[in-house]
A and B are shown apart, each in its own frame.
Chain A
Amino acid sequence: MPEKREKLVEVQNLTVTFGPRRRAFKAVDDVSFDIYKGETFGLVGESGSGKTTIGRAIIRVNPVAGGVVKYRGEVISGRVSRETDQRVIRNIQMVFQDPISSLNERAKVDYIVSEGLASIHKHMPEAERKERVAKALQDVGLLPEFASRFPHEFSGGQRQRIGIARALIMEPEFVIADEPISALDVSIRAQVLNLMSALQKERGLTYLFIAHDLSVVRFISDRIAVIYQGKLMELADSEQLFAHPLHPYTRALLSAIPMPDPVTERKKKLLVYDPAQNKYPANDPPLWEELEPGHFVRGSQREMDEYRKMLL
């Protein structure tokens, strides 16, 4: 039962804006969700939907314009004490999308992987640091001898694993994975996904897994939130979402998943989402309702009735 589970991260009415105050662009608009300890929470949306911004707001890279982010009940957004900042660094880490730009090309793997150690273990002896780097590399399936090389010598999948090692050496509780596999070859994606779920089992990690592709998220996530233009459209357990997708945007995303099956694929009908079909007048704002346990959707009263019918 979700109620009994421990909330690790709470995002409440989060709003993030960019640009000068008067002409600010709302990248994230009043978004709320909880992430439970030990689960993988998938966040799916197209580029520019605000999914990356949410991840960066949680880890304090992007400032929030409204709402709060809580970690284990403590507010971590906005101005916080030095201790809280240190707690965030120690417990929340990030894996980036682009394996090229996310590694410092001028530094050796050894430096890159152990970069964060100094900020949580001051005065760690050199021998221990080396040992930890070797272990971190082995944990992600790389050879310890790679430590003395530069990032350009590695393939995309290997580089992404170096990025994972860099985050995990901090022994975080919560990892934000921002499209960790979309820049990789399909053949390498499975490797990285398997590694991530193995590490989750071993260490009891909690993931926020950001992606633009529902098929990838289904495999790894317990719950999925669909975001469109900075607003959440639908949130449900992954199997629920795949079994009864309610919002038209979710259905469009589902229909776009390419399947390795030429015969059915050629018969497939592609759904295209037109945001104009969900325009809400200012005096009648859309609701965010739970239509079956744990399954939330955004829509007007009339749309809710339609969605309820679809669930029958």
Chain B
Amino acid sequence: MKENVILSFEDLDIRFSLRGQVLNAIRGVSLDVYRGESLAIVGESGSGKSVFTKSAIGLLDANGTIAGGHIWYNDKDLVTFRTEKEWLTIRGKEIAMVMQDPMTSLNPLIPVGDQILEAVVLHQGLRGAAAKRAAVEALRAVGIQEPERRYKQYPHEFSGGMRQRVVIAIAIACRPKILICDEPTTALDVTIQAQILDLIKELQQKLELTTIYITHDLGVVANVADRIAVMYAGDFVEVGRCEEVFYDPRHPYTWALLSSLPQLGVKGENLYSIRGTPPNLFYAVKGDAFAPRNPWALKIDYLKRPPYFQVSETHKARTWLLDPRAPKVDPPEHIRQLREKGGGRYA
């Protein structure tokens, strides 16, 4: 493993059996996560982005199996883990997760303070008054006013945004190295959304965390991600630094994700939209999975899976359009505008 890599996925292959059929959710995917970075995995629902990250904490659904590949963390291959006991040395302790819906991650019958206390006692080895002080501090650290008073309150006494703060407090109380945030703001109002993202960003810097965001909304992560990996049908189609992906995207799917954002829309004109519906992974994918929805699809896209073409040292995309033999295409209007915003520095 390279020195600055904290978590490494290697040729990961995850399959699900569903109603007698096999679904290939993750199709031979490799990705390195660097120490201290903030990585965003972006994709539609069903693209496999949640399955991919859940495999690193042993939370695949019962009908899913890792059919091949490795997940390296601290020179341990997590794929070989079989028992819950093994996973508990990683889950929460080393890699913690914040889920989409804060209500389901909290126990409604226990005051929030005690839920944090539990994590503190378990993972920081503190007892008694010291543990309680640490729990109150955790509440303060996630920006909850009057932590001593709110410590005794139950989850239903908190608003959605405050609950998500509590969930984050529990996650960081375990002093993890990696924090996975699975759609942390999707269930929240826009104004709260931005505040929670700011909080996670602040905590990442203060606690030197590595964060992995999972989201379907590229717009949300512009502010927080260092690197972006775009997933489609169980495979990363484009990976690059944040600026590279926003200002110089290369895969038609990334183009589509960016230009269909309503905030870029002009009234009276149609928004750019991806046609059709995500593929059904019950059918084996041949060639490029995005081809049927891709207006720039080449014949070869239906026949052969494209390799990664390196755009820069840190930026690669899996599309035949980057092959020197491919015809030159103009990206949609919004992408050209974004390129100009980036001042051509990344093109």
Asked if A157 CB lies within 8 Å of chain B CBs, one says yes
Q: B271 to chain A: which residues have CB within 8 Å?
A: 190, 193-194, 219
State A99–B270 Cα separation when bound (angstroms).
Answer: 23
Of B191, B257, B277, B341, which one neighbours A157 at CB under 8 angstroms?
Answer: B277
Contact B263 A46, beta carbon cutoff 8 Å = no
Which residues 41-83 of A sit at the B interface, judged by CB distance below 8 A?
46-47
Contact A155 B46, beta carbon cutoff 8 Å = yes
Q: A189 to chain B: which residues have CB within 8 Å?
A: 260, 262
Contact B274 A265, beta carbon cutoff 8 Å = no
Contact B189 A186, beta carbon cutoff 8 Å = no
State A253–B342 Cα separation when bound (angstroms).
Answer: 26
Of A46, A193, A261, which one neighbours B246 at CB under 8 angstroms?
Answer: A261
Contact A260 B195, beta carbon cutoff 8 Å = no
Which residues 155-169 of A sit at the B interface, judged by CB distance below 8 A?
155-158
The range of chain B's interface size is 35 or more
Asked if B284 CB lies within 8 Å of chain A CBs, one says no
State A263–B346 Cα separation when bound (angstroms).
Answer: 13
Which residues 219-267 of A sit at the B interface, judged by CB distance below 8 A?
219-220, 238-239, 252-253, 255-263, 265-266
Asked if A5 CB lies within 8 Å of chain B CBs, one says no
Asked if B222 CB lies within 8 Å of chain A CBs, one says yes
State A191–B192 Cα separation when bound (angstroms).
Answer: 26
Q: Mark A264-293, 1 if CB is under 8 A from B, else 0.
A: 011010101100000000000000000000
Q: Mark A161-200, 1 if CB is under 8 A from B, else 0.
A: 0000000000000000000000001111111011001100
State A189–B191 Cα separation when bound (angstroms).
Answer: 20
Of A186, A191, A262, which one neighbours B222 at CB under 8 angstroms?
Answer: A262
Main secondary structure of the interface of A (DSSP, over half): helix
Q: Mark A200-232, 1 if CB is under 8 A from B, else 0.
A: 000000000000111110111000000000000
Q: Mark A137-152, 1 if CB is under 8 A from B, else 0.
A: 0000000000000000
Asked if B86 CB lies within 8 Å of chain A CBs, one says no
Which residues 205-257 of B sit at the A interface, judged by CB distance below 8 A?
216-220, 222-223, 225, 242-243, 246-247, 256-257
Chain A interface residue count, CB cutoff 8 Å, equals 45
Contact A186 B260, beta carbon cutoff 8 Å = yes
Of B191, B272, B338, which one neighbours A46 at CB under 8 angstroms?
Answer: B191
Q: Closest residue to A194 on the B side, CB-wise?
A: B270
Asked if B312 CB lies within 8 Å of chain A CBs, one says no
Q: Closest residue to A264 on the B side, CB-wise?
A: B341
State A120–B191 Cα separation when bound (angstroms).
Answer: 42
Contact B189 A273, beta carbon cutoff 8 Å = no
Q: A261 to chain B: which residues have CB within 8 Å?
A: 222, 246, 338, 341
Q: Mark B192-211, 1 if CB is under 8 A from A, else 0.
A: 11110010000000000000
Q: B328 to chain A: which residues have CB within 8 Å?
A: none
**In the complex where A258-B194, A259-B219 touch, is A193 in contact with B263 (Cβ < 8 A)?**
no
Contact A191 B267, beta carbon cutoff 8 Å = no
Q: A256 to chain B: which residues have CB within 8 Å?
A: 190-191, 193-194
State A64–B277 Cα separation when bound (angstroms).
Answer: 40
Contacts A188-B44, A215-B263, A262-B223 known; 20 new A-B pairs at CB < 8 A: A46-B189, A155-B277, A158-B277, A186-B218, A186-B261, A187-B256, A190-B260, A191-B260, A193-B265, A198-B270, A214-B190, A238-B267, A253-B191, A256-B191, A258-B217, A258-B222, A258-B263, A260-B218, A261-B246, A273-B191
